[in-house]
Amino acid sequence: MKYWLVIIFLIHVLYSFAEERYIIDTTVQEINLKDYCYHFEDTTNNLTIKQAIKHSWTKLNSNPTFASNKHVQWIRYDMYNPYNESIERIIFLPYHLIHEIDAYTIVNSSITNICNTGTKRPYDSKHINSNGYPIRINLKPKQTTSVIVRLKHLCRPLRATTYLLSEERVLNIIQKNNSIIWFWRGVFLFAVFISLVIYFSVKLKLFLYYFFLNLGFGLFIASQLGDYFLFFNVDNTDITSVIDFTGAILGNLFFPLFLNALTPIKARNEVLWKWMYRVIYVMIIIYIFSLFPSVRSSIAMYYFHFYIMIVSGLVLSLQLLLLVKNIIYKDKNAIPLFIIYSIYIVIMFIEIIFANMGLFADSPYVHISLLIVSVFEIFSFMGLMAHESLKIYKERSELLEKQQEHQKQMILSMVAGQEEARNRAGRELHDSIGANMAIIKQRIGKDNKELYKIASQTIESVRNLSHGLVTPMVKNDEFADEMKELCFLFSSSEIEIHCYFHGWPKIDDSEITTHLYRITQELLQNAVKHSKAKNVYFQFIGENNKNISLIYEDDGIGFGYEKKERKGLGLKNIENRITLLDGTLQIDTSSAGKGCTIVIEVKNVV
Amino acid sequence: MKIIILDDHSLFSEGLGKILSDNFKDIKLETYNSIASLTKKELDLNSYSLFISDIELPGEEVFVYLTYIKSKYPNLPVLIISMHNKLSVIKKCKDLNIEGYILKDDHEFIMEGINKILAGQQYYSHKVMQTLNILNKKEKLLTPKEEEIISLLAKGKNNHDIADEIFISYNTIKTHRKNINRKLKLNTTADIIKYYYKNYI
């Protein structure tokens, strides 16, 4: 029994010993060292490594993440190499903004500085490439090696999750990370570029919001990736934090606008919307302050950053609620928007806000889920916008169609009104004045030759006048007769009007024949009044029993149609009627006196 | 002798009645101002010698009624006395075999017309005949401009040359060409030139 107790005790001791230092296992390629992490906070911010060693270290049983970081943090990992040969391993901190990282190894009380890196350090010493800080260590055989890392990153959240990786694993991670990061960069640039181009070509505000939204989040994510350190060979921590702010604020400012353009958020929540924007405007004021370098280097920045983080979180989650409200109101776009938005925002929260608070551990693939969800957001919103703008264009073209229809209706009622007035006047003239004149003429008798002649002439002119006024209700074969008569009536000793019919179809629709009659009448009136022509040739030609052409030719003086010369009521009337017929009008004339040819074509009259 | 006068214009009916009673001794006139008032009487029109009617009565289909009379009482002569001097109207009357058509202002011919009709002849007054003659006016198949175009085609000119030469636009020339083809039922330029040499030279 005692024997067993000893074994249990030994196992317990061994286990607790194992908790304190990590025993290297070469079969393990990747391990998060948080379970072996010792830590102390340097409140003086200027301890040296020698002073630090003597400091009392406590075990940190969580990720080395410090949300409100005002001091230099020291962390230590003890590693034991049980093998007979030395082992090469890499301490890997996934990439975040960390101003200064100094790493030391202690073997048998001898201190070696193995790495000085961080974003505030000269470019050459930065082991960064958007992936992380790899620190190469050599673990001596049968020895315990302590790795001490000094982390200086003031007034910002500090995330220093630490992995112990094999070299092979690091290369693998970097390769994978890079392919995704470059893919994201391409997609981001494409989205920003294309949305701006589309905005300038179609002038839909939606695309402008999308542009700013993605520009904002793109700048923000790029600063999280440390992209600006890649492209500048100077310390640009400062600039990076400004760009980071710019991005966050653009995102906050334009996300609600973008959502509102797709589903009515503002109109449903006027007060909330107003307050939301007030909060966002405060962000902008803070941002403007942070543009001054002296403010940026002060403690104010710590609170600014805190404000922006909290308010962004509030604003972004508020919109989630507003989208839910719109789903309840059954807005069509609200459901896809909610799905895309919630995925995006949840990942954003996990990757940035919650992770900054230490609630989630960083994976060695730093912002991979953020990048994937960003690509997802870019494409899905683009799809949604394409759908929306197609809808808008459809509506617009429908509206245009309606407008044209309306215009046609207006012309129609105008022409109909004109027709009615003419008819009334014509009928009155014919039936009462004409008929009365006939009686007067009869009463006068042939004895009073002068009066008799005047009466005859009056009757004739009343008849001709009413003839021109009353709409002839002509159909089918009668149309040709009516036109021939019209041409005959307009003919005189000065002008002869020749009328040709060829292949003319039977037109049942009296509306069409009325239009054609009035057009002919108008053209002939113009010919008689203005053309000074001796001959007018009027052809009525049908084709395939459904298409018709009216061809008017004269040998008169012509007129400057292009210069709108003489484009009086008559021509306007003709144009209106052609519009109603869906026909085409072609006028070939000049003021050079070479006559005039007018071709009117109407398709599918039967 | 019984005569029916159908006219909505009472002054005219009176005048006409006066002329008729002045000219015929033994005459019985019945005047109606609408078809409705006439049909209400349910007359046997076979007993009448002449039916004088206007061609337009407000709100009534005179032609339908005339067609009915012409089929039911083929022996009753009908004379139209109307203000209308319209080709389509006169042609319709002619097609209905209506015996006479006189314009209201041609009253001097009324007696002549009635006498002729009572003698079993047709009577369409001079002015009415003039209007009917419009139908007989025959035009050539092609207009002078079209003839000019085919003569230029025969000289080997193309549409552009022709447009320049007769000062009309290329599009108009194309329209003309299309219509020439349609009217002559020809398809190719060669056929048109052939047509030109056959008919114009």
Q: What is the pLDDT of residues A570-581, one digit of tens each?
A: 788 888 889 888
* ipTM score above 0.90: no
Domain CATH for B26: 3.40.50.2300
CB half-sphere exposure, A247, CA atoms < 13 A: 16
Confidence of residue A210 (pLDDT cuts 50, 70, 90): very high
Mean pLDDT of A485-499: 86
Centre a 10 Å sphere on the Cβ of residue B120 and count the other Cβ atoms it contains: 8
Contact A435 B12 (CB under 8 A): yes
The residue among B80 and B108 whose pLDDT is bigger is B80
Say yes or no: B95 and B190 in one domain. no
Looking up tokens 């249990």 gives: A8
Contact A481 B104 (CB under 8 A): no
Average model confidence (pLDDT) across chain A: 85
In chain A, which residues have their Cβ closer than 8 Å to the Cβ of B58? Answer: 431
Per the CB < 8 A criterion, the answer to whether A192 and A218 are in contact is: yes
pLDDT tens, residue by residue, A329-376? 988 889 999 999 999 889 888 888 888 888 888 888 878 888 999 999
pLDDT tens, residue by residue, A289-326? 888 888 887 888 878 888 888 888 899 899 999 999 99
Confidence of residue A562 (pLDDT cuts 50, 70, 90): low
Rounded to the nearest angstrom, the gap between the alpha carbon of residue B121 and the centroid of all alpha carbons in its chain is: 19
**pLDDT at position A19:** 54
Which of these three, B135, B156, B185, is where a domain ends? B135
**pLDDT at position B14:** 85
Closest A-chain CA to B9? A435
Confidence of residue A1 (pLDDT cuts 50, 70, 90): low
Say yes or no: B116 and B156 in one domain. no
- Cα–Cα distance, A56 to B73 (Å, whole number): 135
- Cα–Cα distance, A337 to A260 (Å, whole number): 10
pLDDT tens, residue by residue, B38-51? 888 878 888 888 89
Centre a 10 Å sphere on the Cβ of residue A391 and count the other Cβ atoms it contains: 12
Say yes or no: B44 and B81 in one domain. yes
Q: Which of B46, B62, B48, B44 is nearest to B6 (CA)?
A: B62
pLDDT tens, residue by residue, A524-535? 888 888 888 888
**pLDDT at position A187:** 94
Centre a 10 Å sphere on the Cβ of residue A575 and count the other Cβ atoms it contains: 14
Contact B167 A594 (CB under 8 A): yes
Residue B135 burial (C-beta neighbours within 10 Å; 0-12, 13-18, 19+): middle
Helices (H), A232-333: 237-262, 270-290, 293-296, 300-328
Sheet-wide strand order for A132-139: A30-32, A163-165, A87-94, A132-139
**pLDDT at position A163:** 92
- Cα–Cα distance, A215 to A211 (Å, whole number): 6
Residue A165 has pLDDT above 60, yes or no: yes
Residue A229 has pLDDT above 80, yes or no: no
List all residues 6 or more positions away from A295 whose beta carbon is below 8 Å from its beta carbon.
A289, A301
pLDDT tens, residue by residue, A185-206? 999 999 999 999 999 998 889 9
Measure CA of the first residue to CA of the last residue in chain B; give whole Å: 65
Say yes or no: B112 and B131 in one domain. yes
Say yes or no: B147 and B122 in one domain. no
Say yes or no: B110 and B146 in one domain. no
**pLDDT at position A272:** 92
Contact A434 B83 (CB under 8 A): yes
pLDDT tens, residue by residue, A505-525? 888 888 888 888 889 988 888
**pLDDT at position B96:** 87
Rounded to two decimals, what is the model's pTM? Answer: 0.61
**What share of chain A has pLDDT > 70, as a percent?**
92
A474 and B CB contact within 8 Å: yes
Say yes or no: B160 and B97 in one domain. no
> Which amino acid is present at A530?
H
Q: Which of B91, B105, B92 is nearest to B134 (CA)?
A: B91
- Cα–Cα distance, B47 to B45 (Å, whole number): 5
Residue A256 burial (C-beta neighbours within 10 Å; 0-12, 13-18, 19+): buried
Confidence of residue A126 (pLDDT cuts 50, 70, 90): low
User: Using a CB cutoff of 8 Å and minimum separation of 24, what contacts does B88-94 make?
Assistant: B88/A472, B88/A474, B88/A478, B88/A481, B88/A482, B88/A485, B89/B55, B90/B124, B90/B128, B90/B131, B90/B132, B91/A478, B91/A481, B91/B132, B91/B135, B92/B63, B93/B55, B93/B66, B94/B124, B94/B132
**pLDDT at position A260:** 92
- Cα–Cα distance, A222 to A371 (Å, whole number): 10
For B9, list phi and psi in degrees, rounded to 5: -95, 100
Contact A484 B179 (CB under 8 A): no
Instruction: Give the domains, in start order, of chain A with CATH numbers.
Output: 23-165 (2.60.40.2380), 172-400 (1.20.1070), 474-606 (3.30.565.10)
List residues of chain B with CB under 8 Å from any CB of chain A: 9, 11-12, 15, 56, 58, 83-88, 91, 103-105, 107-108, 131, 134-135, 137, 139, 143-145, 166-169, 171-172, 175-176, 179, 182-183
Here the tokens at position A572 are: 């306007």
Say yes or no: B30 and B115 in one domain. yes
Which of these three, B135, B169, B191, is where a domain ends? B135
Say yes or no: B114 and B161 in one domain. no
Say yes or no: B128 and B160 in one domain. no
Confidence of residue B200 (pLDDT cuts 50, 70, 90): confident
**pLDDT at position A473:** 67
Regarding beta strands A58-59 and A110-117, do their DSSP bridges make them parallel or antiparallel, or are they unpaired? unpaired
Contact B83 A431 (CB under 8 A): yes
State the Rg of chain A over Cα.
Answer: 45
The count of residues in chain A is 606
**pLDDT at position A97:** 83
**pLDDT at position A338:** 92
Residue A564 has pLDDT above 60, yes or no: no
User: In chain A, positions 479-518, which contact chain B (CB-CB < 8 Å)?
Assistant: 481-482, 484-485, 488, 498-500, 502-503
Residue B147, domain extent:
142-199
CA A596 vs CA A535, A587, A601, B34, B173: distances in Å: 11, 7, 16, 49, 13
Dihedral angle computed from the Cα positions of residues B62, B67, B72 and B77, in that order, rounded to the nearest 10 degrees: 80
The residue among B122 and A477 whose pLDDT is bigger is B122
The partner residues of A40 in beta bridges, in order of sequence, read A74
Kindly report the nearest CA distance between residue A554 and chain B, in angstroms.
Answer: 9
Of B58, B143, B172, Cβ closest to residue A588: B172
A238 and B CB contact within 8 Å: no
Q: How many domains does chain B have?
A: 2
CA B148 vs CA A497, A594, B193: distances in Å: 19, 14, 12
In chain A, which residues have their Cβ closer than 8 Å to the Cβ of B91? Answer: 478, 481
Average model confidence (pLDDT) across chain B: 86
The count of residues in chain B is 201
Which of these three, B117, B135, B153, is where a domain ends? B135
**pLDDT at position A128:** 60
pLDDT tens, residue by residue, A399-452? 999 998 998 888 888 888 888 888 888 888 877 788 788 888 877 877 788 888
Q: How would DSSP label each residue in B30-93?
A: EEESSHHHHHHT---GGG-SEEEE-S-BTTB-HHHHHHHHHHH-TTS-EEEEES---HHHHHHH
- Cα–Cα distance, A170 to A93 (Å, whole number): 11
Looking up tokens 């206007």 gives: B54
Helix axes A300-328, A334-348, angle to 10 degrees: 150
Mean pLDDT of A137-166: 90
Looking up tokens 């003698």 gives: B119
**pLDDT at position A560:** 61
**What share of chain A has pLDDT > 90, as a percent?**
30
Here the tokens at position A448 are: 């009073």
Mean pLDDT of B17-35: 86
Say yes or no: B147 and B109 in one domain. no
**pLDDT at position A18:** 46
Cα–Cα–Cα angle for A51, A54, A57, nearest 5°? 115
Looking up tokens 């071709």 gives: A599
The 3-state secondary structure of A154-220 reads: CCCCEECCCEEECHHHHHHHHHHHHHHHHHHHHHHHHHHHHHHHHHHHHCCHHHHHHHHHHHHHHHH
The 3-state secondary structure of A465-532 reads: HHHHHCCCCCCCCHHHHHHHHHHHHHCCCCCEEEEEEECCCCCCCHHHHHHHHHHHHHHHHHHHHHHC
- Cα–Cα distance, A203 to A186 (Å, whole number): 25
User: Mutation test of the interface with chain A: which of B8, B105, B111, choosing the one with the most A Cβ atoms within 10 A?
Assistant: B105
Report DSSP state, residue A566. T
- Cα–Cα distance, A74 to A327 (Å, whole number): 49
Domain CATH for B152: 1.10.10.10
Say yes or no: B108 and B153 in one domain. no
Report DSSP state, residue A50. H
CA A157 vs CA A10, A91, A119, B144: distances in Å: 41, 21, 14, 95
- Cα–Cα distance, B128 to A124 (Å, whole number): 113
